[in-house]
């Protein structure tokens, strides 16, 4: 498979993961581009080409964490969040609104849980693959997904009850 085919095959899923981490389309695009830049630099040293997907997601996650350390934590304004997601548009406006609402609520889940939830539910990664990408134990992955779902449920309950979105400090 050519480099271009590999890049095209993984772009959408990398972008969605980057968007779930960064909360901003432009930052997500930068993360994906930085990931591909790293891949181009190191592609000849990657021993197992069958694990390229895992390598790309791991690199993207590291780039995100590195960027967070360098620029400090900045939360985008509500209007900046999730302006667009490349891919097929939703055919049903109600489903699109529900999906957007769910993604907006997902952005409020603290990062370690959000990354695990996104890889599991949005990218369909297995626990083992998530553990490799995030460089944590599979048991930690299961715990983070469980806790992340609990936080997301609380956010959804607050939203449906008309409360201000947010979570109470439990975690």
Percent pLDDT > 70 in the chain is: 77
Residue with the two structure tokens 């581009």: 33
Domains and CATH numbers, the chain: 1-87 (1.10.1740), 92-171 (1.10.10.10)
> Mean of the per-residue pLDDT values for the chain?
78
138 φ/ψ angles, rounded to the nearest 5 degrees: -55, -35
- The pLDDT assigned to 42 comes to 81
pTM for the whole structure: 0.59
- Do you know the residue count of the chain? 171
129 φ/ψ angles, rounded to the nearest 5 degrees: -65, -40
CB 96 within 8 A of CB 90: yes
Rounded distance between C-alpha atoms, residue 146 and residue 117, angstroms: 9
In tens, the pLDDT along 27-56 reads: 888 888 988 888 888 877 777 777 888 888
Tell me what the mean pLDDT of segment 109-118 comes to. Answer: 90
Residue with the two structure tokens 């780039």: 63
């Amino acid at each position: 498979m050519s480099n271009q085919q590999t890049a095209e095959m993984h772009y959408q899923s990398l972008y969605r993961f980057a968007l779930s981490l960064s909360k901003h389309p432009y930052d997500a695009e930068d993360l994906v581009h930085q990931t591909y830049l790293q891949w181009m630099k190191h592609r000849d040293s990657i021993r197992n080409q069958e694990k390229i997907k895992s390598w790309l997601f791991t690199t993207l996650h590291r780039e995100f964490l590195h960027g967070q350390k360098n620029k400090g934590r900045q939360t985008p304004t509500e209007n900046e969040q999730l302006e667009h997601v490349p891919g097929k548009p939703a055919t049903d406006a109600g489903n699109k609104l529900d999906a957007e609402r769910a993604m907006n609520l997902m952005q409020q889940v603290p990062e370690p849980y959000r990354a695990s939830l996104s890889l599991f539910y949005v990218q369909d990664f297995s626990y083992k693959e998530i553990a490799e990408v995030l460089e944590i134990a599979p048991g930690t992955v299961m715990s983070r997904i469980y806790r992340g779902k609990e936080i997301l449920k609380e956010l959804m309950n607050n939203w449906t009850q008309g409360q201000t979105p947010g979570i109470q400090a439990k975690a």
